[in-house]
Structure 1
Amino acid sequence: MKKICALLIATLLLASFAACKGGGTKAPPAPEGRTVTDMTGRTVTLPEQVERIVVLTAGDCEILYALGAGDRIVGRGEYCDYPADVLDVPSVQSGYDTNVEQIVALKPDVVVMSTMAQTNEHIESIEKVGIPVVVTEAPNLGGVYEAIALLGQVVGKTSEADALIQSMKDAFAALKAKVPQLDKKPAVYFEVSPLQYGLWAAGSGTFMDELGNMLGAENIFADLTGWVQVSEEQVIQRNPDFIVTTTMSYEGSPDPIEEIKSRAGWENITAVASGRILNADNDEITRPGPRLADAARQLFELLYGGAD
Structure 2
Amino acid sequence: MRTWLIAIIVVVALVAGIALGTIAIPTRTVTTTSTVKLVETRTVTETSMLTVTTAVTTTETLHKPIVVVVDARGSTLKLESTPKRVVALTPAIAEIVCMLDCSKLVGIVTPVTYPPELVEAVKEGRVEVVGSYWSPDAEKILALKPDLVIADLGVPKDIIVAGMLEQHGVKVLFVKGGKAATIDDVIRDVMLVASALNETSKAQEWKERLDSVVGMIAEKLEKTNVTKPSTLVVLGPPSWGLWVAGGGTFIDSLLEAAGGVNVAGKYHGWVQLSYEDVLKLNPSKVVITVMGGREEGLKCLEAWRKTPLNNTEAFRRGTVCVVTGPADDAIARPGPRIIDAIQILAYILHPDMFNPPTDYIGHIVCLKQP
What TM-score, normalized by structure 2, do the two folds share? 0.73
1:181 paired residue number: 225
Amino acid at match of 1:60: I
Which of the residues 79, 91, 97 maps onto 2:129?
A: 91
Q: Measure the CA separation in 1 of the matches of 2:219 and 2:60.
A: 57
Q: Measure the CA separation in 2 of the matches of 1:303 and 1:60.
A: 28
- Closer, same or farther in 2 for the Cα pair 1:6/1:97, shift >3 Å? farther
Q: How does 1:194-205 map to 2 (within 5 A)?
A: 194-205=237-248
Which of the residues 132, 140, 150 maps onto 2:171?
A: 132
Q: Measure the CA separation in 2 of the matches of 1:292 and 1:197.
A: 24
- Is residue 122 from structure 1 mapped to residue 161 from structure 2 by the alignment? yes
Q: Which runs of 5+ in 1 are unaligned?
A: none
- The question of whether the paired residues in 1 share the 8 Å contact of 2:236 and 2:300 is answered with no
1:160 paired residue number: 202
2:35 paired residue number: none
Q: Measure the CA separation in 2 of the matches of 1:114 and 1:40.
A: 10
1:81 paired residue number: 113
Q: Which moved more, 1:287-296 or 1:95-104?
A: 95-104
- Closer, same or farther in 2 for the Cα pair 1:303/1:162, shift >3 Å? same
- Closer, same or farther in 2 for the Cα pair 1:247/1:76, shift >3 Å? same
Aligned-pair distance for 1:253? 8.4
1:299 paired residue number: 345
1:72 paired residue number: 104
1:257 paired residue number: 301
Aligned-pair distance for 1:104? 2.1
Deviation string, structure 1 residues 65-87 (Cα, Å, up to 9, x no partner): 122x1011011112343113223
Amino acid at match of 1:175: I
- The question of whether the paired residues in 1 share the 8 Å contact of 2:305 and 2:315 is answered with yes
Q: Measure the CA separation in 2 of the matches of 1:37 and 1:249.
A: 36
2:262 paired residue number: 219
Q: Measure the CA separation in 1 of the matches of 2:331 and 2:343.
A: 10
Aligned-pair distance for 1:102? 2.1
Q: Measure the CA separation in 1 of the matches of 2:118 and 2:30.
A: 65
Aligned-pair distance for 1:11? 7.7
Higher RCO structure (Cα 8 Å, ≥6 apart): 1
Q: Measure the CA separation in 1 of the matches of 2:135 and 2:231.
A: 36
- Is residue 270 from structure 1 mapped to residue 282 from structure 2 by the alignment? no
Count of aligned pairs: 300
2:333 paired residue number: 287
Deviation string, structure 1 residues 68-123 (Cα, Å, up to 9, x no partner): x1011011112343113223121001353332222222121101111122442111
Q: Measure the CA separation in 1 of the matches of 2:320 and 2:284.
A: 9
1:234 paired residue number: 277
Indicate the SS of the match to 2:154: coil
What TM-score, normalized by structure 1, do the two folds share? 0.86
2:145 paired residue number: 107
- The question of whether the paired residues in 2 share the 8 Å contact of 1:47 and 1:109 is answered with no
- Closer, same or farther in 2 for the Cα pair 1:165/1:95, shift >3 Å? closer
Indicate the SS of the match to 1:255: helix
Aligned-pair distance for 1:174? 1.0
Aligned-pair distance for 1:244? 0.5
- Closer, same or farther in 2 for the Cα pair 1:244/1:11, shift >3 Å? closer
Q: Measure the CA separation in 1 of the matches of 2:77 and 2:283.
A: 45
Q: Which runs of 5+ in 2 are unaligned?
A: 1-12, 32-41, 44-51, 356-370
Indicate the SS of the match to 2:231: strand
Q: Which moved more, 1:83-92 or 1:253-262?
A: 253-262
- Closer, same or farther in 2 for the Cα pair 1:9/1:207, shift >3 Å? closer
Indicate the SS of the match to 2:290: coil
Q: Measure the CA separation in 1 of the matches of 2:173 and 2:296.
A: 40
Amino acid at match of 2:328: N
Aligned-pair distance for 1:6? 8.2
- The question of whether the paired residues in 2 share the 8 Å contact of 1:248 and 1:256 is answered with no
Indicate the SS of the match to 1:77: strand
- Closer, same or farther in 2 for the Cα pair 1:64/1:149, shift >3 Å? same
Aligned-pair distance for 1:230? 0.8
Aligned-pair distance for 1:42? 0.9
- The question of whether the paired residues in 1 share the 8 Å contact of 2:297 and 2:322 is answered with no
- Structure number having the greater strand percentage: 2
Q: Which moved more, 1:77-86 or 1:119-128?
A: 77-86
